[in-house]
Chains A and B, each alone.
Chain A
């Protein structure tokens, strides 16, 4: 798998996926109505459901390669690789998110209490 994004490029586009997002009526609002989301309109998927998604994907692999142990082994190896990549991605995404949350909270606190930046 090659990553088409160069760290040195000023801008980049996603090579696939995003531009093909089908139009749909969605409940999760944009920033303009973000308060609705913040107050619970768009609920976060529960960890149980998230785990179910993992289980479903594993079952799909198992079913697809039920009669082909070698192919199944390759598919499972691919999934293991993906899980490892996801763990790394989660760690990085969390670090960025928490760092940004701290900055946002600090800005709001300064605003609220009139503290110097």
Chain B
């Protein structure tokens, strides 16, 4: 009886295994951040051999620069992380062991330019939006 009921249910709702596979998310928030960081890491020109660079938007007010490389003297892997926080009075640069400071001058111009490039590339290549209009690329192309 149970088998029959299951077969009826399968007829109505489809293959449970397929349905289960359909429900399984293909990506998570972290996956999206990882994909974005691949684009972000390439915005600043060639990455030196042996370096790993990530630049990504973590949330709506935090951007992160992560860089890892092998120290020539010690042969050990070292890394550094810089966090850029968007505050109402500026963009605060946060690094371990360094005093907080607001980004200024040329560094600020460069950072905002990098954010702009990131926005353009990520919108277009990951989410499929036209960065100029904010509309899905397919819709933008039809318009």
Contact = CB atoms under 8 A, between A and B. Distances in A.
Interface band, chain A = 35 or more
B96 A25 contact: yes
Q: Is the interface of A mostly helix, strand, loop or mixed?
A: helix
Interface string B101-124: 111111111111101101100110
Given A29-B81, A103-B127, A5 B109 contact: yes
Q: Is the interface of B mostly helix, strand, loop or mixed?
A: mixed
Nearest to A33: B30
A8 interface: no
Interface of A: 1-5, 7, 11-18, 21-32, 34-35, 37-38, 42, 44-45, 47, 49-51, 53-54, 57, 82-83, 85-87, 89-90, 92-94, 96-101, 103-104, 106-108, 111-112, 114, 117
Contact of B81 (A26, A93, A94): A26
3 nearest A-B pairs in the assembled complex, by CB-CB distance: A23-B78, A86-B90, A26-B96
A82 B103 CA distance: 9
19 contacts: A1-B105, A3-B110, A5-B113, A12-B43, A12-B44, A28-B81, A28-B96, A30-B81, A34-B33, A44-B62, A44-B85, A50-B85, A82-B104, A97-B61, A98-B60, A101-B57, A104-B32, A108-B32, A117-B128
Interface of B: 22-23, 25-30, 32-34, 36-37, 42-46, 54, 56-68, 71, 78-83, 85-92, 94-97, 99-113, 115-116, 118-119, 122-123, 126-129, 134, 136
Q: Which of A16, A100, A108 has the most CB of B within 10 A?
A: A100
Contact of B44 (A13, A24, A31, A87): A13
